[in-house]
Structure 1
């Protein structure tokens, strides 16, 4: 017994301590496997060892699992509460919650939308972003109504929904449902892709009633824009939105044809581009479910588009008055399916002009000639280092699954030889509130104006002079 050690408190032997063990006796035990105060087995320590250590480990794991469960339950409770708040907000004032995923990132500046904001009070281009404070403006690569009863109709024109998807949704509902509540109120025969004029400030107050910082900022942007404009036309917000708004303004304001449209035969350009770059075969035509045509068929189709663009532009320029130019616009931007075919043809013609201009600018870059600054941004992207990849990865998807990015707005302006002046309402109080696409021909090219709340969906502002001339669809 002496050899094995029988000391306690200050004892020794083979680890016979108050906290020791081994074979020796401890403060509360003896013999083989005497247990310590919290230990057990041979040489169990007071707080662990043998089974005690295993039990302690299991206890720790159970505590961690319990904590994780509590955190998860708290998170779920928070989400349920947020959903309930959004539902209550919708019941308190009819509004929509903007749907969709994140739109392609802008090359010139970042996306303005802030995830998590709840679009607030009564009042589809998309993707689109998480719920925001304003019901998405009607129609708009990323709009909403002021009336709860219009939600179903407007869902057909959701932000950045593909044209094919919108067409299929309409087909399911039938032609009898094509006239929306909003259109009946405006006295229209169908759901025009560019709506009748509404008062600018009234629209702002109705659509952005929230008390958040963003709502206040957008309302301020509208107030600043109201110094130059009195009305607003909402533009259908499919992925053609930017092209549609620009084309509307070009036709509505042109008093003469641009030089490039009169000095050359634009119907020859598709064939010339095919001979030089062999790109036309990749063109993706609307309502063809992404199938590519043979180059010969694509050339003939694009020739038809360019011929139609020249005809409509000539008609608008020769109209003689703003009211007659509006008649030309009314014929183009109609709801009837046969007229929509013409509208989409014109929008595809704008895309072709963008491709041709991109090829010309890229060739000048390779030659070391001067090019606009935006070209370095356009062709610096990994997805568009050359015109071929620009068409493959970007342009052929515009109108189908994505809209125009900011850097591509510069290209659109160059292609049309028009300065596109955009009031970016979410940039109020900054130098970027008014942006020109492009900004190097503001004095020698005609200027058309657009409004945007998010750099994805564009609406058409109406000045007082236009209003006095009765420029309504």
Structure 2
């Protein structure tokens, strides 16, 4: 869950982030499960009201508070038989443009920071601003440009960047279009890839769309970013092509030995918009497949990661069908990845995602791992976030990142 820096201390004490919930529920946790529904059942479930909706403010990287719906769910501890409140944000449908046009007074930034945002908005026509992954720049120079004010938030961000600078020399800004979590994670994974992951080598990998459709008719309602009006039954071959593209690009880049040439290949890939967004569709489908596997494993009594309990504890994703309808179908359109979905992405890729959460500086959640108990043989990618919404990437490691 996202905890906004702009909330009062009293409000912060009432809510806990997903990593905190995971630590508290390290032991087995129980949540009532539902059968995977049909497409009609999913439509009915989507109409059900959530148990409680709250309106809170959250900082985006621009510094402007933005309202986000918070869904309150309950997770039942089997051992202690008690209910524990869990707040998870649901993506807002308001665009960044709408947010930037709001005229309400900004109470959280000084005049200098507000003026900086105005200048940034005037530069949106520059070629660099439109890049998916901008060229690297010194991390402290970036920090000084972005956080020059004297507000408590700016001071905390500067301290956070100083800590990151002990490990990394530079930063690359990621384009913020609701795909930034995918973009940052995949770029980091490919830029350091030396071999094709085992799950990409599977003979059944490219048959996922066909195999899942044969079992779950509701997957026909999958929505493509490029073709939102077409149903999955008509585009399963396209999803297969995206999966093949992911394997091809991953292998080609991992086969490159020189680090400079590898970076150039990654930069080229992320300048090809058609291929780039096709890869994100592949990642979303892999997340759905992983969610189905976890859900079915739990139904059959097998042990599953604690985060999967939290994932399916939400009123909007009590089963994979709802997860697809209310979350995965909207990623890239009206919202990005929620924090609990970062765990799902990590499991789908079999990568540990290490995130410097700058607004959590000086707390034990400053460096958060997804998953928080990673497999020893999983590679590690490192991201930076100022608000658990937008992600940038640190580059040029000063020393080996230690978990």
Q: Counterpart in 1 of 2:176?
A: 237
Per the normalisation by structure 2, the TM-score is 0.72
Paired residue secondary structure (2:329): helix
Does the C-alpha gap of structure 1 residues 409 and 147 become closer, same or farther in structure 2, counting only changes over 3 Å? closer
Paired residue secondary structure (1:230): strand
Q: Which has the higher strand share?
A: 2
Does the C-alpha gap of structure 1 residues 377 and 283 become closer, same or farther in structure 2, counting only changes over 3 Å? same
Paired residue secondary structure (2:381): strand
Paired residue secondary structure (1:459): strand
Distance in 2 separating the partners of 1:205 and 1:403: 27
Does the C-alpha gap of structure 1 residues 463 and 395 become closer, same or farther in structure 2, counting only changes over 3 Å? same
Q: Is 1:390 paired with 2:323?
A: yes
Contact 2:110/2:151 (<8 A) preserved: no
Q: Is 1:98 paired with 2:35?
A: no
Query: Unmatched 5+ residue regions in structure 1?
Result: 1-94, 112-123, 138-143, 155-176, 184-190, 467-473
Q: Counterpart in 2 of 1:445?
A: 378
Q: Counterpart in 1 of 2:307?
A: 374
Q: Is 1:291 paired with 2:229?
A: yes
Distance in 1 separating the partners of 2:182 and 2:158: 25
Q: CA deviation at 1:324?
A: 1.8
Does the C-alpha gap of structure 1 residues 256 and 430 become closer, same or farther in structure 2, counting only changes over 3 Å? same
Does the C-alpha gap of structure 1 residues 230 and 437 become closer, same or farther in structure 2, counting only changes over 3 Å? same
Q: Counterpart in 2 of 1:332?
A: 269
Distance in 1 separating the partners of 2:371 and 2:97: 21
Q: CA deviation at 1:99?
A: 7.1
Question: 1:302-333 deviations in whole A, cap 9, x for unaligned?
Answer: 00110110011001110112212212211221
Distance in 1 separating the partners of 2:254 and 2:98: 34
Q: 1:285-434 residue pairs with structure 2 within 5 A?
A: 285-288=224-227, 290-293=228-231, 295=233, 297-334=234-271, 339-434=272-367
Q: CA deviation at 1:96?
A: 6.6
Distance in 1 separating the partners of 2:116 and 2:187: 24
Contact 1:196/1:233 (<8 A) preserved: yes
Q: Counterpart in 2 of 1:46?
A: none
Q: Counterpart in 1 of 2:191?
A: 252
Contact 2:356/2:368 (<8 A) preserved: yes
Q: Counterpart in 1 of 2:145?
A: 206
Q: CA deviation at 1:439?
A: 2.0
Q: Counterpart in 1 of 2:3?
A: none
Q: CA deviation at 1:100?
A: 5.0
Distance in 2 separating the partners of 1:147 and 1:406: 26
Question: 1:110-165 deviations in whole A, cap 9, x for unaligned?
Answer: 77xxxxxxxxxxxx699799845399x9xxxxxx99585542343xxxxxxxxxxx
Contact 2:284/2:328 (<8 A) preserved: yes
Distance in 2 separating the partners of 1:106 and 1:299: 35
Distance in 2 separating the partners of 1:406 and 1:308: 27
Paired residue secondary structure (2:168): coil
Paired residue secondary structure (1:463): strand
Question: 1:259-289 deviations in whole A, cap 9, x for unaligned?
Answer: 111133421111111112224311111133x
Does the C-alpha gap of structure 1 residues 326 and 369 become closer, same or farther in structure 2, counting only changes over 3 Å? same
Distance in 1 separating the partners of 2:115 and 2:209: 40
Q: Is 1:223 paired with 2:162?
A: yes
Query: Unmatched 5+ residue regions in structure 2?
Result: 1-60, 74-85, 90-95
Paired residue secondary structure (2:188): helix
Q: Counterpart in 2 of 1:278?
A: 217
Q: 1:463 aligns with which of 387, 396, 403?
A: 396
CA RMSD of aligned residues (A): 2.9
Report the structure number with the largest CA radius of gyration.
Answer: 1
Q: Counterpart in 1 of 2:32?
A: none
Contact 1:232/1:461 (<8 A) preserved: yes
Distance in 1 separating the partners of 2:198 and 2:62: 45
Paired residue secondary structure (1:441): coil
Q: CA deviation at 1:237?
A: 0.7
Distance in 1 separating the partners of 2:239 and 2:162: 42
Distance in 2 separating the partners of 1:448 and 1:439: 14
